[in-house]
Chains A and B, each alone.
Chain A
Amino acid sequence: MMLSSSNRWTTLLLDKLPLILLILIALFLPLLFSEYYLLLTGYILIAALLAQSFNLMFGFMGKLSFGHAGYFGIGAYTVALIATNTKIPLLFSIPAAIIVTGIIATIIGFFCVRRSGYYFAILTMAFSQLLFVIVYKWYGFTHGDDGIHAIPVPTFLDSSVAQYYFNLVLIGIAMAILWKITFSPFGYILRCMRDNPVRTEFNGIKLTRYQLIAFVIAALFAGFAGAIFTIFNRAVTPGIMDWTRSADPVIMTVIGGQFSFFGPLIGAVIFLFLQSYILGYTIFWPIIIGSILVIVVLFLPEGVTGLYQKILKAIKQKHQDKTKSELNKY
C-alpha cells in the first residue's frame, strides 16, 4: 500500500478525531459551558462507565446481561449507607463499595455464567430484580422507597467545577484500567469466547472461569460507577437498580457501537444529551428512544462508531482508487 507518512497520520487522526474532540471538550468543559452542562456531563460520565463495563461482557464476550444496574445500585447504596451511618471517609467507602459489589457479583456470577443467550439474560435479570426488591423492601436498612438523601460529602466537592473534575479524573482512570483489560491477552480471550466458544475450550481455556472473571470485573466497574454516582447525586433511590435501568447501558452500547471500546461512551453521550434535550420539550421520550433503538438495531448493527468506521473506509477506498488511477496514467 502506497501510503505516504502524511497519509498515515491523516488516517490515524481521522480515526481518532471524534475521541480527541470529546476528550478536549471534557477537559475544558467548565470554561466552555454553563453549570447545567457540567451536571449533565457528570451523569454522562457515570453512565458511560456503566455502559463500558457492561460492554466488556456484551460486545467483547458476547453475553448480554440484563441485570447490570443491580451492581451499580449495590455500589451506590454501599457508599450511601457508609456515609450516612458512619464517619468513615470517602477514601475508604469507595473501595468498600467496590469490594461489596465484587463479592455479590462473584456469588451471582458463579451461577449466571453457566448459561448463555436468553437464559443468561433472564437469569441476570432475575438476580438483579432480587437485589432491587431486597433494597426496596428492607425499609429498616435502606429506607426502601424513600431512598437515602442528603448524603454528606467532603467540602472540597461543594463547588460544581471541583465535583466535575473529581468525576472526570476518577472515571477517566477507571476507563483507562478498563482499556488495559480490554486490550490485554485476557481481553482477547474474551473475544475468542465470543467468536468461537467451542474452539476456545479446545485450546484448554475453561469458559466458565474466564467468564466469571469478566463478569466480576464488569460488576466491579459498575459498582465503582455507582459509588461515584452517590457522591455526585448526593442521594440514592432504589429506582436506580430496577431492571428497566439495566436496559439503559444496553441501549447506549447498541447505539454507540458494541464492538468498539468507546462505543458505549458515544452512546451514553447521545442518549443522555438527547434525553435531556427532548425532556425539555415533551414527556414523550420513551417513544423517541424506542424508535431510535428500532432503527439502530435494524439498520445500524454496529452502532454509530460502526457507521463512522464504514464512512472512513469508504473515503479511504475512494482516495486509494483515485491514487491508483492517477498512478496508472504513467
Chain B
Amino acid sequence: MEDLVSLIFAQFLSGLTRSMVLFLVASGLSLIFGVLSVLNFAHGTLYMLGAFVCFQFWNALMNVGVGFWISVILAAIVIGLLGFIIEITLIRRTYTGLQLGHTQQLLLTYALTLIAMDVVRLVWGGRFYSIPRPDIFSGSVSALGVQFPSYQLFVIFFGFIIYFGLWLLLFRTKLGCIIRAAVFSRDMVAALGIPIKWIYTLVFIIGAFLAGLAGGIAAPLGTISVGMDHSILIECFAVVIIGGVGNVTGTLLGALIVGLVHAFGILVLPQLTIAFIFLILAIVLIVRPSGLLGVEV
C-alpha cells in the first residue's frame, strides 16, 4: 500500500515537472496565438534553440559559480531577440494576406522549423548534449517515501512563479490590459490609437523569450537534441487548445492536464499514452474549440 502511494506521488511530481515545462513553452504559444492569431509552428524550435544556446553559454561559463543561471537568462534573451527578428522580417508581411494570412504564417513558421533544424545540425552537429543540474539543486529530497530530485522541484516552483508573473503582467499592468484586450478584439485596440503593430511584436518577443527560457530551464532535465522541437510541439498545441487560447490560466490548466495524463497514462497504458493525448486534443477541438477557459470561438 505504501509502495502504491509512493509510486503515485512520484508519478505525480514527475508529471507536474513535465507540466511546468510544457506550461513555460505553451504560455508563449498561447499568447502569440491569442493576440496575433498566429499559430507559431516554430515555437518548439525556439524552445530547442533556447536549450542549445543555453548549453553554449554554459559551456563558456562553466567555471563561474552561477554560470548556469546566467546562461539560462542569456539564452532567453537571445531567443527573444530572435523572435523579434522573425516577427518583423517575416510574420509582419502576412497580416494582410488571404484569409488573414493564416496559411502563410503556418507555412513560414514551418519553414523556420526546417531551416533551424539544419542550422542546429551545422553549428552543433547531430549529437546529443547535456547540462548537469546546477550545484544548488543537484541533490534530492525525500517525501512520502520517494526520493525526488530537488531540481525538478525547483522547476515546478519556477513554473508557478512564472505563472504568477505572467498573471501580474496581464492583470495588473496597463500593458497586460492592452494585451488582454487585443486577444478579445484587435480592431478595437487599434481603433483606440494604440500602436497594435508594436504590441504584436512585443507579444511575439515575450512568447519567444518564454520558449527560450523554458529550453534553458528544461535542459538539465534531459538531453538536448535535434528532435526536441517536434516532440514538444504537438503537446504544446494540445495544452493551448485544451486550456483555451490566449488565457494564461487556461494554459496552466491545460499543461497540468496534459502533463499529469501523460505521467499517469504511462503507468496504466504505456503504449497508448501519447495517442490518448491526441484523442483528448481532438475531442476538445470537436466539442469546444475555445478550450476550457478560452474566448468563445
Looking at the assembled complex, report how far the CB atom of A74 sits from the nearest CB atom of chain B, in whole angstroms: 15
Task: Scan residues 296-325 of chain A and give those whose CB is less than 8 A from a CB of chain B.
Answer: 297-298, 301
Closest to A144 in B: B271
A211 sits at the interface (CB 8 A)? no
Q: How many interface residues does B have (CB within 8 Å)?
A: 41
Bound: A188/B149 CA distance, A? 61
- Determine whether the beta carbon of A293 is less than 8 Å from that of B106: no
Expressed in whole angstroms, the Cα–Cα distance for A87 and B90 within the complex equals 54
A294's contact among B90, B122, B275, B282, by CB below 8 Å, is which?
B90
A119 at the interface (CB under 8 A from B): yes
Known: A127-B282, A130-B279, A297-B104. A290 touches B111 (CB 8 A): yes
A287 x B234 contact (CB < 8 A) = no
Of A29-37, A92-100, A109-117, the one with at least 4 CB within 8 A of chain B: A109-117
For residue A114, which residues in chain B have a CB less than 8 angstroms away from its CB? 286
CB of B113 closer than 8 Å to a CB of A: yes
B103 within 8 A of A: yes
A199 → chain B closest CB, angstroms: 16
Instruction: State which of A111, A119, A254, A290 has its C-beta within 8 Å of the C-beta of B118.
Output: A290
- Would B114 and A286 count as touching, CB distance under 8 A? yes
How many residue-residue contacts, CB under 8 A, span A and B? 107
Within 8 A of B (CB), among A275-296: 283-287, 289-291, 293-294
A246, chain B: closest CB distance, angstroms: 10
Is B184 interfacial (CB-CB < 8 Å)?
A: no
Assembled-state Cα–Cα distance A66/B281 (Å)? 15
A133 pairs with B121, CB closer than 8 A: no
B281 A293 Cβ-Cβ under 8 A: no
Known contacts: A64-B106, A130-B278, A284-B122. The answer to whether A297 contacts B111 by CB under 8 A is yes
Interface of A is mostly: helix
CB distance from A55 to the nearest CB of B (A): 12
Q: What CA separation (Å) do A243 and B108 show in the bound complex?
A: 16
> Which residue of A is nearest B279, CB measured?
A130
CB-CB < 8 A to A251: which residues of B?
A: 107
A272 at the interface (CB under 8 A from B): no
Task: Say whether A293 contacts B282, CB under 8 Å.
Answer: no
CB distance from B225 to the nearest CB of A (A): 16
Cβ–Cβ contact A129 & B115, under 8 A: no
Q: What chain A residues lie within 8 Å of B114 (beta carbons)? A: 286-287, 289-290, 293
Do B285 and A118 touch (CB < 8 A)? no
Q: Collect the chain A residues with CB atoms within 8 Å of residue B297's CB.
A: 119
**CB of B158 closer than 8 Å to a CB of A:** no
Taking the nearest CB of chain A, how far is it from the CB of B162, in angstroms?
25
- Contact indicator A290/B113 (Cβ below 8 Å): yes
Asked if B93 and A121 make an inter-chain contact with CB atoms under 8 angstroms apart, the answer reads: no
Partner of A254, one of B107, B117, B230: B107
- Out of B108, B118, B237, name the residue touching A287 (CB < 8 Å): B118
CB B39 to nearest CB in A, in angstroms, measures: 5
CA distance A138 to B238 in the complex (A): 23
A27 an interface residue at 8 Å Cβ cutoff?
no
Residues of B within 8 A of A291 (CB): 111, 115
The interface residues of chain B lying within 8 Å CB-to-CB of A297 are 104, 107-108, 111
> Which one of B103, B111, B237, B282 lies within 8 Å of A64 (CB-CB)?
B103
In the bound complex, CA of A115 to CA of B297 (Å): 10
Shortest CB distance A7–B (Å): 33
Binary A-proximity of B93-119 (CB < 8 A = 1, otherwise 0): 100011100111011101111110111
**What sequence of 0s and 1s flags, for each residue 213-239 of chain B, a beta carbon within 8 Å of any chain A beta carbon?**
000000000000000001000100110
B87 to chain A, nearest CB (A): 14
Q: A121-B106, A122-B39, A125-B234 given as contacts; is B275 within 8 A of A134 (CB)?
A: yes
In the complex, the 5 A-B pairs of residues with the closest C-beta atoms, listed nearest first:
A290-B114, A287-B118, A290-B115, A293-B111, A286-B114
Q: A137-B271, A137-B272, A243-B234 are in contact. List 13 more A-B contacts (CB 8 A).
A: A64-B103, A118-B33, A119-B289, A122-B285, A123-B285, A126-B278, A126-B285, A137-B275, A250-B110, A284-B122, A290-B114, A291-B111, A297-B104
18 contacts between A and B (CB under 8 A): A111-B286, A117-B102, A118-B33, A118-B102, A119-B289, A122-B39, A123-B286, A130-B279, A254-B107, A284-B122, A286-B117, A287-B114, A293-B107, A294-B111, A294-B115, A297-B107, A298-B90, A298-B104
